[in-house]
Structure 1
Amino acid sequence: MSSAGFPDASTTGVPAGTSLTPSGSITISQDGAVIDSLQITGTVTVNANNVTIRRTLIKNTGSIPVRVNGSGLVMEDSEIDGQGGGNPAVAYSNYTLRRVNIHDVAEGPRISGGNVTIEASYIHNVLQVGTNHTDAVQSTGGSNIVLRGNTIQANNPQTGTYGNAAFQYGEENSPIRACTVEGNLFDGGNVTINGGGGGTTGAACSFSGNKFQRDFRYGPVGNLGPNTVWDKATNVWFDTGLPIR
């Protein structure tokens, strides 16, 4: 479906005209390193702090395209092509994704431990691989989580699958606190926003200004716990602008 006004392939990923240098898998061990304009066939392992990856295409050949073991990673104006793998696409904490195009992964970014911001990005065409859970974004715990101004689609129009959720969150690994979800376009899933992850007792996420498309199996929202803040006036259907009930 149309995502007019929200991120898509034209506003995310490697800017047109960028010349990319071929590379295999890389491991980054230098604090403050800047990776720019690579076409990486393989995976990226970040073992350093305050690394920047920009204008880079990752054609995944492993289980996790981008694994963050340090803190402060910023990935921007880049693309992750899961090539049918990637479970998850980015793991697991202490990263920022900005204008990143993520597609053809078995699961999108995973958040466990927190300090994650995903903004102005396009997460789409996730793939059902075996019995994987197929969430466009999933959090299993953590704090300081921000999803802002993204297009996040669990459904895959090419395969006709719904996926599990566009944003699935629970407290399997730790409590979820300081979680802000605002100004996104969501679509797909059995339930598009599902707060019913295992172990959840009081996940504290706030939702405002989000729009929802209708390519889900059961409904747009489910299993919101007592600490969820849901702005009834600004979480609305994309096509009508009416509030989600």
Structure 2
Amino acid sequence: MKNISYPAPVHSPRSATLTQRSGRLLVALLLSTILVAAGLIFAPPASAATSVAIKPGSIATVPVGSTGIRDAKVTASTTLTALPKSGGGVYTSVQARAGKSGAYAAQARTYPNGTVTVSIKRLNGTGRSLTQSTISSYVTLDRKIKAGEKLTLTLEAKGTSTVTLKATAKIGTSTAREVSAKDTSGSRISAEGKGAVTFYTSKGSPSLKASVASSSYAAVKQPVTTPKPTPSAPAPAPVKPTPAPAPVKPAPAPAPVEPAPAPPANPTVPASGFPTAATTGVPAGVSLTVHEGDLVITKANTVIDGVEVRGIIDIKAPGVVIKNSRIVGGSTARSIGLVTNVNSGQPFTIQDSEIYAAKEDPAWNGLVGSNFTAVRMDIHTVVDPVRVLGNNVVVRDSWLHDNSHWEKDPLRGGTPSHDDSVQIEGGASIVLEGNRMEGATNAAVQITQNSSIAKLGSITIRDNYLQDGGCTINVGASAANNRPIVTSNVFGPERIFAGCAIVAPESSAPVLKGNIWEKGSVPITRYTIG
């Protein structure tokens, strides 16, 4: 394979924009966009209620409006007759500027447990070159949705050299959550396009029915500021000569002035300084060569650069470097991970790459093993993005998000999936630093003691943005006498138990320093005993 070489690795500078591919979902999304724009999908414009069937692994599309508009706002109120019982959930999107070059979409993902997350996407290209970019942060709606409840999405797109995007989402009559983005990339969509509503559910979900209760696609105007006319200046009045001033006594020296108090701290610590789609994954402009099937590495110091692996990477030699690559799995899922060294334990490095399951399955996990360093990774659409099974692991500056979740997981006897951003089953010298972890149902970091794998040792969790899970960091009861160091982390607002940033048994009380809640910068000085 011409893209696999053996010299020492050289780090290439990264771009400021990440392009994410999402396999079959993305092909279907853009295909539906193109068909809508070309007038080849003849579903009626959704001015009245329109019912659609959502088949597993395919897109259902309802056009909105019939005229191409550039600066536009699309709005749709939708319902699901039932929530998905398994799989990765239902993706509901409203699209603006939909045409042959792509579309912008406000995408809501409804999980089997009713959690709804929203983000803004950009779709570009066709066929094998089809790409989807996440160009905003993710927000989670304030409450869970129920079957038959109305989900209202809006997306406004304005501008050309800079495309300004604003999306809102709400359940029923609750308060809407907002997410925004600005797109100045070379892939931005500046042309006019049509509107659409799309539904998608993964192959792991059953067929569902949805309804578009109402929708609209209308032009919005850029604000125009008209300068006020300047009034003519009146003729100046005659000026009388000013008498000479009286002698002035020197002013006394001013009294000492107390220094002004420091301004109050920013009430909310922004999460924007942590990894996002723009700073993780495959750098923009990197051309990937497809490798069909698994890639088993048996030669020391192999460098894998610019490869899309449609299988897994199994590392069986030391010093392997993987960079600027994408690993998406094949048709048969295996719980050892999409990138793994569990069979060898040989050390490796992976950076500036993306890992996800193109075909979701309860058995797929992301990066699994020990003795590895992962930097600027984008890992999503798997049950556990990172699973640590031994010593010497570093995960830094990476984005772990959008876990796969099944309410009835066949690998867990029909109980819910136990998805974590990072699951540590055993090992020492483990460092999680500078990451953004969100989207897991169980915990962002789960620490347990699996003595058959490795004994727990030093674990450091620092300078991360952490949210979601029941409690966001969960030190299990089996992790006896291990005290993880948890310092300088920002805990976001989303989790099942609102005030539970960290839960641990007293025997494994974490060492806490400098951790804060994102909202209000309130220090976190305690943990929940569990």
State the TM-score, normalizing by the size of structure 2: 0.43
Question: Residues of 2 paired with 1:30 and 1:70: CA distance?
Answer: 14
Structure of higher CA gyration radius: 2
Report the structure, 1 or 2, having the larger helix content.
Answer: 2
Q: For residues 212-236 of structure 1, what are the alpha-carbon distances to aligned partners after superposition, in whole Å with 9 as ceiling and x for unaligned? A: 012111122111543444324x111
Distance 1:225 1:117, change over 3 A: farther
Question: Residues of 2 paired with 1:48 and 1:3: CA distance?
Answer: 38
Aligned partner of residue 427 in structure 2, secondary structure: strand
For structure 2, the 5+ residue unaligned runs are: 1-138, 140-269, 410-415
Please identify, of 2-11 and 187-196, the stretch whose mean Cα deviation from structure 2 is larger: 2-11
Question: Residues of 2 paired with 1:216 and 1:114: CA distance?
Answer: 29
Partner of 2:354: 79
Partner of 1:16: 284
For the 8 Å contact 1:144–1:177, the answer to whether it is kept is: yes
Query: How far 1:90 moved relative to its partner?
Result: 1.5
Residue type of the partner of 2:473?
Answer: I
Aligned partner of residue 501 in structure 2, secondary structure: strand
Please identify, of 94-103 and 64-73, the stretch whose mean Cα deviation from structure 2 is larger: 64-73
Distance 1:154 1:16, change over 3 A: same
For the 8 Å contact 1:170–1:200, the answer to whether it is kept is: yes
For the 8 Å contact 2:483–2:511, the answer to whether it is kept is: no
For the 8 Å contact 2:345–2:369, the answer to whether it is kept is: no
Partner of 1:90: 367
Distance 1:16 1:165, change over 3 A: same
Query: How far 1:60 moved relative to its partner?
Result: 1.9
Q: For residues 158-184 of structure 1, what are the alpha-carbon distances to aligned partners after superposition, in whole Å with 9 as ceiling and x for unaligned? A: xxxxx0000000112343212111000
Residue type of the partner of 1:66?
Answer: V
Matches within 5 A, 1:51-70: 51-61=320-330, 62-63=333-334, 64-68=337-341, 69-70=344-345
Could you say what the CA RMSD is over the residues aligned between the two structures, in angstroms? 1.6
For the 8 Å contact 1:37–1:55, the answer to whether it is kept is: yes
Matches within 5 A, 1:117-156: 117-129=394-406, 130=409, 131-155=416-440
Partner of 2:446: 168
Aligned partner of residue 243 in structure 1, secondary structure: coil
Residue type of the partner of 1:46?
Answer: I
Alignment pair present for 1:241 and 2:518: no
Aligned partner of residue 241 in structure 1, secondary structure: coil
Question: Residues of 2 paired with 1:193 and 1:149: CA distance?
Answer: 15
Question: Residues of 2 paired with 1:169 and 1:4: CA distance?
Answer: 27
Query: How far 1:67 moved relative to its partner?
Result: 1.2
Identity %: 31
For structure 1, the 5+ residue unaligned runs are: 156-162
Question: Residues of 1 paired with 2:277 and 2:388: CA distance?
Answer: 23
For the 8 Å contact 1:82–1:106, the answer to whether it is kept is: no
Alignment pair present for 1:46 and 2:315: yes
Query: How far 1:88 moved relative to its partner?
Result: 2.5
Matches within 5 A, 1:173-188: 173=451, 174-188=454-468
Question: Residues of 2 paired with 1:204 and 1:145: CA distance?
Answer: 12
Distance 1:33 1:187, change over 3 A: same
Question: Residues of 2 paired with 1:72 and 1:19: CA distance?
Answer: 27
Report the structure, 1 or 2, having the larger strand content.
Answer: 1
Question: Residues of 1 paired with 2:284 and 2:505: CA distance?
Answer: 40
Please identify, of 63-72 and 113-122, the stretch whose mean Cα deviation from structure 2 is larger: 63-72
Q: Which of 109, 116, 129 matches 2:393?
A: 116
Query: How far 1:239 moved relative to its partner?
Result: 2.3
Partner of 1:7: 275
For the 8 Å contact 1:175–1:203, the answer to whether it is kept is: no
